[in-house]
A and B are shown apart, each in its own frame.
Chain A
Amino acid sequence: MTATWAWLVLLFPLLGSLTIGATFKVLPERTAGLIGISAIVAAFVCGILALIGLQGEPSESRHVASSLWEYANVGGLKIDLGIYVDPLSIFMVLVVTGVSSLIHIYSYSYMESDQGYHRFFSYLNFFVFSMLVLVLAGNFIMLIVGWALVGFASYALISYWYRRNTATKAGMKAFVINVVGDIGLYIAAILIFKNLGSVDYGTVFERAPEVFTTNEWEIVAICLCLLVGAFAKSAQMPFHTWLADAMEGPTPVSSLIHAATMVTAGVYLIARCHSLFELAPTAADVAAWVGLATLLIAGTIAIAVTDLKRIIAYSTMSQIGYMFVGVSIGAYSAGMFHLMTHAFFKALLFMAAGSFISAMANMQDIDKMKGFRKAMPFTAAMFIIGALALSGFPGTSGWFSKDEIIDFAHFRGGMYDWMWVGMLIGAFMTAIYSFRIIFRILPGPPCEEAEYLEQHGHVIHGEPKNPATGELEDTEVGYPGEEHHIAEQAGGMKFAMAVLGVLALIGGLLQIPGVDDVITKFLEPTFENSVFAHMHPSTEDSWIGLGEGALISIAGIATAWLLYIKRPDLPVKFRQRFSAIYTLCVNKWYGDEIVDFLIVNPVKAFGRFCNRIFERFAIDGATTGVAGLTRSAGAAVRDLQSGLLRGYAVLMLFGILAIAVYFLIRSI
């Protein structure tokens, strides 16, 4: 029964996507939106039913594999169209469908005046479907399928406003980087098959410890290849450059990519393959260090840039970095717990940001926003809740989850103590950049747009401009349409944000050290064979860690207050004094330029060389030469040549026959 519910989880979003897509001409827009919402809600309900079914089993048999049919089978490489249901995948299903439902409800209002409403909801449902394939996959090939479909869906949604050149470029970038990640998974799957004779999760995880010794090069290679996929999908260094550009998509899409789907895939992958990573501690350490580097670098960028959505995007990179460290050092349930709380508050932050951006008539620069406290009290309150949770303010969900990861690093000691220190610094930066936004846009005298909203009660009309280039836009495929919507005036947006606000505040209560530990207990069956299964910091140490986290968070917020409220001259001075560091950060550590220099430009140069030099001179030259030779030979026997095109063909036929006859006679 559990498996059936899990299949239904997949079915509803797919059906929703196809129905909306196929009926775009006949269905009214609202209905399409409602179908989209109900498809995801239905998937969520089925997810809960699957959960109930699963919990009914004794803990050692809490995993179900089910397959529909044989997808492909050659030479022992057998691929089933199969799923694997265990606490980890159900956990992901519930986070994905739960948060996605709310994002759909938000979009229902937010995208109201957009021209491509059907297309939007069809893509949105498909995105969720792809993510569900990814988390429910029963073997590495299905995983790759889900992985790639998520990449495709993100492409479709990032370049949703496809008449914008910047959007289509960003979509292409996301897609191609993701394909590079896919290739990592291809190679990993091939290696896994070669060494273990199967690609099914159950068999692979069971056989791996028998076949590999710890840190044998093959298992390290497998894990590193898996990591290429994980880094690309989760925007970890050096594959992170697509994420900020992905902000070209509508804000609900950013919310979906960053919170519930897509970027969390890498974290899920490591957790899913934990038994492989534990055999390859070197690879796990690589993942942890990369996560640490990403979280620190993304933090510095988030403090420097001024585009509201991009700040939040870099914050996502940074938070995913925490999760990477968590699942790589063995703090599996902590990593998954942070994945969940992050989904709540990050979705909330993006939704609130969308509301602000609407009020600004699509301007995204926080330098231009000011004094929204009175004009948009609800959005402001929600944004503050989100920022508190993100900063790990005591009592909020982020406080519990982030500090659990940080503690675990300290608990493991040794080199992981360095990670502990790094993550604490990261936490401090998180608090600064979160409250940098708040102190810049909420207090103070209202800006023109906020004042207009306060006085007239509706959003100011601005010219539809591309926020990236400032070009005037064609609104026929809408830049969120003529009408903008803010949470204060749109029921759907308000509802979704309110629910997430509550979850972001109290979600952490699920896992209070020494009190309930719901997440750890729930995920236990998945991780029971792990060497870290019974390694936890003591309750006392956990609370000490939480205390440290609280102090750092408050210190960060206080610093932000000092910098942006009390002494706003300080950041300016800072910028002048350390202009090199500032330039580095505001240019995102030149990630794009480095990738361009190392990969994109050489590939393009190779293409140009082939096209302009090699093809032209070597290939075409030789071809024309050969053809020319024949032509002169033809001219020599001009009498035979009728001058018509077909002459050649007839000649050829007879030629073939003549030669055939000649050889035949000779050979007899």
Chain B
Amino acid sequence: MLSSIIWTPLVFGLIGLLVPKRFAAWVAALGAVITLGLAIGVLAGFDPDGGMQYITDVSWIPGLGVDYSLGIDGVSIFLVLLTTIAWIPAICFSAIRGTDRPALYYLMLLAGETSTLGAFLAQDLLLFVLFFDLMIVPFYFLFGIWGRDRGGEEDPERSPGNGPVSVQSATLKMIVFTLIGSLLMLVGAIAAAVIAADGGELTFSIQTIVARGLPEGSQNWIFWFFAAAFLVKMPAFPLHGWMPDSYRAAPLPALAVFSAVLSKVGAYGFLRVVLPMMPDASDLFQSTMLVLAICSILYGSAMAFTKTDLRLVLGFSSVAQLGFITAGIFAFDSTGAEGAVLQMVNHGLVVVPAFLIVAMISERTGSEELGPMGGLAKKAPVFAVIFLIVSMATLAIPASANFIGEFYILNGLFQVDAAWAIVASVGVALAAFYALRMYQLTMHNPLPDGSDSREISLRDALVLVPMVGIVVVLAFCPQLIIHGSEQAVDSSIAIVREVAK
């Protein structure tokens, strides 16, 4: 069952190569919808109190103790759902507009989905590392081939750092950073398995390694090898240097899923691998991680309200949001970690429509720069309302599920030390500022000449509204996610809580 979820997208991507070009997009969309259907099927049979379920365990490289081992629990199921949901609008949005070399484009998108799903479902450490590394490859091509060079058309005084960007240098930065992180993680994974085996039978099964335990000394350096990979992927301050250029060069639909889902793999990795496998090190480095998380929140927010490129506003707001998520995880508190999981899903659901809206704004104004644009709400009330909901969810207004996530995270942080929570809450106020600024400078104020304030088209609305609908439904009942994931979250942090005591 889980295997079919992982491989369905890729299969449809390959089928897309065989069919005539104009059908490639719809084959891809069909593949994504079927994958979502399968994920819903898993959800239907899912038992929130059942621990790891739908286990697949096939010996893969017996000599090395590597298994093709999959499983799903309360945390991964919602991330799998997020992934399968997020890909549909990205594909449909591209399908409506058309792309160069469609077959290859959709193959890459779907390969990205396959590897992301693999990372969420893998229960074997090496398999996880493999999927984690594979994720970046299709996106490397997506950004590299379908991305575009950005000239330095923007006023450098007003928005420094918005100089010209070539696709090549942007993707190079991304790949180098990710590569360094991945290699470290690979070394860490191998070391973890070897050390845990302690001369016994080598296995990469996460569960077994956790059960065997690692000596404290080794935990300390392996911790950072994993953390480096995850923090780069999120990205977290100060390892986000690759992000601005890549975001500016990337094609928006691919960027939407990239930002929504791939960043979560990093956070997920902490919860699935780092905390259970290296509890002593996690406890030891708790303060360091919290400092990094809080820096991400404050720095990301500060960048988000000074940047004028809409993609970067969203990019840095993600840095801040991922900071909240990391902080929640490293609070080692069930409310904090549950808030983090809730926020992973919420943030993903919000970011996809946000990036697609940026694409639509760009079509209307010919620019992605805040400042020269504005007033788009004039003839497009529906479009404005959709963006308003997305902006409000981004700033986690109470009554959104994002608020509950953030509130639980703050509550978790407060249990560690009131100071963490109070400093982190500054990020809440800053979020209000940058999210509202983004909305206001695009939708409100006078409409400049040359901007076309047209209403969202029916097809685009059909792409966006379901996602926004899910955001609204979750606002009424965040307990839907909490109920399903609570037990899994608790067991993820159980060991580290023991240690912390």
Interface residues, chain A, with chain B CB atoms under 8 Å away: 21, 24, 69-75, 77, 79, 81, 119, 141, 144-145, 147-149, 152, 155, 159, 162-163, 165, 168, 171-172, 175-176, 179-180, 182-183, 186-187, 189-191, 193-194, 474, 476-477, 603-604, 606-608, 610-612, 614-616, 618-620, 622-624, 626-627, 630-631, 645-646, 648-649, 652-653, 655-656, 659-660, 663-664, 667-668
Contacts and interface: CB of A to CB of B under 8 A. Distances in A.
B242 interface: yes
B306 A630 contact: no
B473 to A, nearest CB: 13
A667 B194 contact: yes
Interface residues on B, range: 35 or more
Contacts of A660: 126, 186, 190
Interface string B237-249: 0101110100000
B215 interface: no
17 contacts: A74-B334, A145-B403, A152-B397, A162-B445, A165-B445, A172-B436, A176-B433, A179-B432, A193-B411, A194-B414, A611-B303, A612-B161, A623-B177, A631-B172, A649-B137, A649-B141, A660-B190
A98 B219 CA distance: 65
Contact of A659 (B171, B183, B299): B183
What 8 pairs between A and B have smallest CB-CB spacing? A623-B241, A148-B398, A75-B334, A162-B444, A607-B306, A179-B432, A611-B306, A645-B144
B183 A152 contact: no
A667 B186 CA distance: 13
Nearest to A165: B445
A182 B426 CA distance: 11
B171 A645 contact: yes
Contacts of A190: 407, 410-411, 414, 421
A149 B66 CA distance: 52
B182 interface: yes
A611 B302 contact: yes
Contacts of A165: 445-446
A626 to B, nearest CB: 6
Interface stretch (B7-15, B254-262, B271-279, B477-485): B477-485
B429 A176 contact: yes
B307 interface: yes
B362 interface: no
Contacts of A172: 433, 436-437, 440
Nearest to B446: A163
Interface stretch (B21-29, B45-53, B95-103, B374-382): B374-382
Given A608-B306, A645-B168, A77 B144 contact: no
A612 B144 CA distance: 27
Given A74-B335, A667-B202, A162 B436 contact: no
B161 A616 contact: yes
Interface in B437-471: 437, 440, 443-447
Contacts of B433: 172, 176
B404 interface: yes
Given A71-B479, A180-B429, A607-B303, A624 B173 contact: yes
Interface in B179-228: 179-180, 182-183, 186-187, 190, 193-194, 202
Given A77-B411, A193-B411, A648 B175 contact: yes
B283 interface: no
Contacts of B404: 71-72, 79
B229 interface: no
A281 to B, nearest CB: 23
Contacts of A176: 429, 432-433, 436
B399 interface: yes
Contact of B408 (A77, A168, A606, A607): A77
B145 interface: yes
A74 B338 contact: yes
A266 B250 CA distance: 47
B187 A144 contact: no
Nearest to A75: B334
A653 to B, nearest CB: 7
Contacts of B444: 159, 162-163, 168
Nearest to A78: B479
Interface of B: 63-64, 126, 133, 137, 140-141, 144-145, 159-161, 167-169, 171-173, 175-177, 179-180, 182-183, 186-187, 190, 193-194, 202, 238, 240-242, 244, 299, 302-303, 305-307, 333-335, 338-339, 375, 377-378, 381, 385, 392, 395, 397-399, 403-404, 407-408, 410-411, 414-415, 421-422, 425, 428-430, 432-433, 436-437, 440, 443-447, 476-479, 482-483, 486
Nearest to A178: B432
Nearest to A69: B477
Given A165-B445, A659-B183, A663-B186, A623 B140 contact: no
Best-surrounded residue of B126, B375, B395, B398 (most CB of chain A within 10 A): B398
A375 to B, nearest CB: 35
A642 B244 CA distance: 27
A477 to B, nearest CB: 7
Given A190-B414, A615-B303, A626 B190 contact: no
A474 B422 CA distance: 43
Contacts of B159: 611
Contacts of A187: 410, 414, 421-422, 425
A168 B443 CA distance: 10
Given A162-B444, A183-B428, A620-B161, A648 B335 contact: no
A155 B392 CA distance: 12
Given A72-B478, A649-B140, A659-B183, A179 B428 contact: yes
Contacts of B385: 21
Given A72-B478, A474-B446, 15 more contacts: A24-B381, A72-B408, A72-B479, A74-B334, A190-B410, A190-B411, A190-B414, A193-B411, A194-B414, A476-B378, A610-B306, A627-B173, A645-B145, A660-B190, A668-B64
Contacts of B64: 664, 668
Given A646-B144, A653-B137, A72 B482 contact: yes
A244 B454 CA distance: 34
Nearest to A610: B302
A544 to B, nearest CB: 46
A168 B441 CA distance: 9
B303 A71 contact: no
Contact of A119 (B333, B381, B482): B381
B302 A607 contact: yes
Contacts of A189: 407
Contacts of A652: 137, 175, 179
A649 B175 contact: yes
B408 A74 contact: yes
B407 A186 contact: yes
B429 A183 contact: yes
Contacts of B408: 72, 74, 77
A101 B397 CA distance: 27
Contacts of B447: 163
Contacts of A611: 159-161, 302-303, 306-307
Contacts of A69: 477, 479
Nearest to A623: B241
Nearest to B169: A627
A152 B303 CA distance: 24
Given A71-B478, A72-B482, A630 B176 contact: yes
A667 B375 CA distance: 63
A165 B445 CA distance: 5
A179 B397 CA distance: 9
Given A172-B440, A645-B144, A645-B168, A659 B302 contact: no
Contacts of B161: 611-612, 615-616, 620
Nearest to A147: B398
A473 to B, nearest CB: 10
Contact of B244 (A159, A191, A620, A649): A620
A149 B399 contact: yes
A613 B106 CA distance: 39
Contacts of A162: 375, 377, 443-445
